[in-house]
């Protein structure tokens, strides 16, 4: 992994230089990467490897911050521009994300940035990765975006043209999954890679192609009475994946899997968003509809984020059953999209009953939820 990151960081200067009519941000990136010497690139790559392998597997924000503080102290001993450990990964995450085309309504929030960067590194190095997080934290979306962007020579963005083309083999996990079905997707992924190489000829063996397995809902498959994941151990073993059999693997789940499975690759655990994350997500979604209006109505977007955070905090503290997940991140995203769409359409904020209509898009409210939510609603909008 570290060797890939070293090569990647060396190539970025050349790749950016080839882009015509570079934006101001790309120009800033070029100036930054062109000034990195050999030692800078080595240390830069080590920091990124540490971030992917260790930092991203921590499931809560407080522990992540503790690790960041300790590693930042170590960096004080080196003569580099960045003295905070997270500054380097954040720069790389933003570099990857801004070169991926996003549709309107998709926010470049922390979860998406972490997912995209981890997937980018692990897929290119063919290191298996398991992504675990609650629904609505961009797990499936990130896989789709990376797959759409990495098309080899056919990639729309020049940054990805010199990288491999992904051939995705999807498998949907369920309570009815079987070991035979799981094994078949591995065979299919290797067969596709072998057939493409044979078809394109011996001279194209170095053609940049990655055959990747995308295993959705691994958590459901793990609870299947057929024990379908027992074959994962053998399939992901390094010696079995050598040569033309080596493929990339991405598994996603809404909850943590058995450690014996996740230890076969990198593990990305997505923490719950904090208040600042939610406010930023709300602002970014609004900006994707109209950046000028998003600036003007920034307080509205941020206050909606604060309300949602306080609402979820209330549920988590006062409930012990499944009702605490009665509403999730996707409900919040849909609310903000609806608000942004109305703002753009009317170019004004509706008042009174119209505001309440937006809020009611979350669905049928339980009485105790609405009473608590209404208190926050009044505080911020009345």
Q: Range with the lowest mean pLDDT among 24-38, 85-99, 303-317?
A: 24-38
The reply to whether 20 and 66 lie within a common domain is: yes
Query: Is the pLDDT confidence value at 381 over 90?
Result: no
Q: Can you give the pLDDT at residue 243?
A: 67
Helix, strand or coil, per DSSP, at residue 223: coil
Query: Is the pLDDT confidence value at 340 over 90?
Result: yes
Residue ranges in the chain assigned as alpha helix (H): 2-18, 24-34, 38-53, 61-75, 87-98, 110-125, 139-149, 158-161, 179-200, 218-222, 232-235, 259-262, 275-289, 291-296, 298-318, 329-346, 353-360, 367-381
* Boundary of a domain, candidates 70, 98, 126: 98
d(CA 65, CA 10): 29
The reply to whether 51 and 133 lie within a common domain is: no
- Spatial CB neighbours of 125, under 8 Å, sequence gap ≥ 6: 1, 4
For the chain, the average pLDDT equals 85
The reply to whether 329 and 236 lie within a common domain is: no
Helix axes 38-53, 110-125, angle to 10 degrees: 110
The reply to whether 123 and 230 lie within a common domain is: yes
The whole domain housing 352 covers: 275-381
Rg, the chain, Cα only: 23
Binned at pLDDT 50, 70 and 90, residue 33 comes out as confident
The reply to whether 122 and 60 lie within a common domain is: no
Q: Can you give the pLDDT at residue 175?
A: 94
d(CA 122, CA 172): 21
What average pLDDT score do residues 194-213 get?
75
The reply to whether 150 and 232 lie within a common domain is: yes
Binned at pLDDT 50, 70 and 90, residue 222 comes out as very high
The reply to whether 259 and 375 lie within a common domain is: no
The reply to whether 36 and 118 lie within a common domain is: no
Binned at pLDDT 50, 70 and 90, residue 204 comes out as low
Q: Can you give the pLDDT at residue 375?
A: 58
Query: Is the pLDDT confidence value at 364 over 50?
Result: no
* Boundary of a domain, candidates 272, 288, 305: 272
Tell me what percent of the residues of the chain surpass a pLDDT of 90.
Answer: 57
**What is the value of pTM for the model shown?**
0.88
Helix axes 367-381, 298-318, angle to 10 degrees: 150
What is the CATH classification number for the domain harbouring 219?
A: 3.40.50.300
- Spatial CB neighbours of 49, under 8 Å, sequence gap ≥ 6: 1, 2, 5
Strand order from edge to edge, sheet including 248-253 = 165-172, 209-216, 248-253, 129-132, 266-269
The reply to whether 128 and 268 lie within a common domain is: yes
Whether the Cβ atoms of residue 131 and residue 118 lie closer than 8 Å to each other: yes
Q: Which is more confidently placed, 57 or 204?
A: 57
* Boundary of a domain, candidates 247, 272, 297: 272
What average pLDDT score do residues 51-80 get?
93
- The number of beta carbons lying within 10 Å of the beta carbon of residue 12 is 20
Query: Is the pLDDT confidence value at 307 over 70?
Result: yes
**Tokens found for residue 52:** 């992917």
What average pLDDT score do residues 72-93 get?
89
The reply to whether 88 and 120 lie within a common domain is: no
The reply to whether 251 and 116 lie within a common domain is: yes
The reply to whether 159 and 25 lie within a common domain is: no
Q: Can you give the pLDDT at residue 20?
A: 66
Binned at pLDDT 50, 70 and 90, residue 241 comes out as low
Q: Which is more confidently placed, 357 or 18?
A: 18
Residue (of 172, 271, 183, 260) closest to 220 by Cα position: 172
Residue (of 108, 111, 117, 107) closest to 146 by Cα position: 117
d(CA 377, CA 372): 9
Domain count, the chain: 3
d(CA 214, CA 199): 24
d(CA 370, CA 243): 58
Query: Is the pLDDT confidence value at 362 over 90?
Result: no
Whether the Cβ atoms of residue 230 and residue 103 lie closer than 8 Å to each other: no
Q: How far is CA 47 from CA 43, 96, 217, 240, 252, in A?
A: 6, 16, 31, 29, 25
């Amino acid at each position: 992994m570290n060797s890939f990151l070293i090569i990647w960081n060396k190539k970025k200067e050349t790749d950016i230089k080839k882009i015509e009519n570079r934006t101001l941000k790309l120009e800033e990136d070029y100036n930054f990467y062109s000034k990195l010497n050999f030692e800078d690139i080595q240390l830069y790559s080590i920091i990124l490897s540490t971030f992917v392998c260790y930092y991203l597997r921590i499931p809560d924000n407080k522990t992540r911050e503790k690790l960041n503080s300790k590693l930042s102290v170590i960096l004080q001993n080196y003569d580099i521009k960045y003295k905070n450990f997270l500054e380097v990964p954040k720069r790389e995450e933003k570099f990857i994300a801004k070169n991926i085309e996003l549709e309107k309504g998709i926010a470049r929030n922390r979860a998406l940035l972490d997912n995209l960067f981890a997937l980018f590194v692990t897929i290119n190095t063919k290191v298996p990765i398991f992504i675990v997080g609650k629904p609505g934290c961009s797990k499936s979306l990130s896989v789709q975006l990376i797959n759409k962007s990495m098309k080899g020579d056919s990639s729309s963005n020049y940054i990805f043209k010199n990288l491999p083309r992904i051939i995705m083999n999807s498998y949907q996990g369920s309570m009815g999954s079987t070991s035979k079905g799981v094994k078949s997707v591995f065979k299919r992924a290797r067969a596709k890679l072998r057939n493409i190489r044979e078809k394109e000829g011996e001279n194209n063996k170095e053609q940049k192609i990655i055959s990747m397995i995308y295993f959705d809902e691994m958590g459901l498959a793990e609870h299947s009475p057929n024990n379908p994941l027992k074959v994962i151990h053998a399939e992901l073993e390094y010696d079995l994946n050598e040569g033309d059999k080596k493929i990339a693997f991405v598994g996603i789940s809404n909850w943590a899997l058995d450690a014996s499975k996740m230890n076969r690759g990198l593990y990305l655990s997505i923490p719950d968003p904090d208040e600042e994350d939610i406010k930023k997500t709300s602002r970014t979604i609004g900006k994707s509809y109209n950046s000028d209006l998003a600036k003007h109505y920034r307080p509205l977007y941020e206050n909606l984020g604060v309300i949602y955070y306080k609402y979820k905090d209330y549920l988590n503290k006062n409930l012990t059953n499944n009702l605490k997940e009665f509403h999730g991140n996707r409900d919040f995203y849909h609310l903000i999209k609806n608000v942004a769409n109305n703002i753009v359409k009317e170019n004004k904020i509706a008042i009174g009953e119209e505001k309440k209509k937006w809020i009611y898009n979350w669905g049928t409210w339980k009485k105790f939820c609405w009473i608590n939510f209404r208190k926050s609603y009044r505080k911020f909008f009345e």
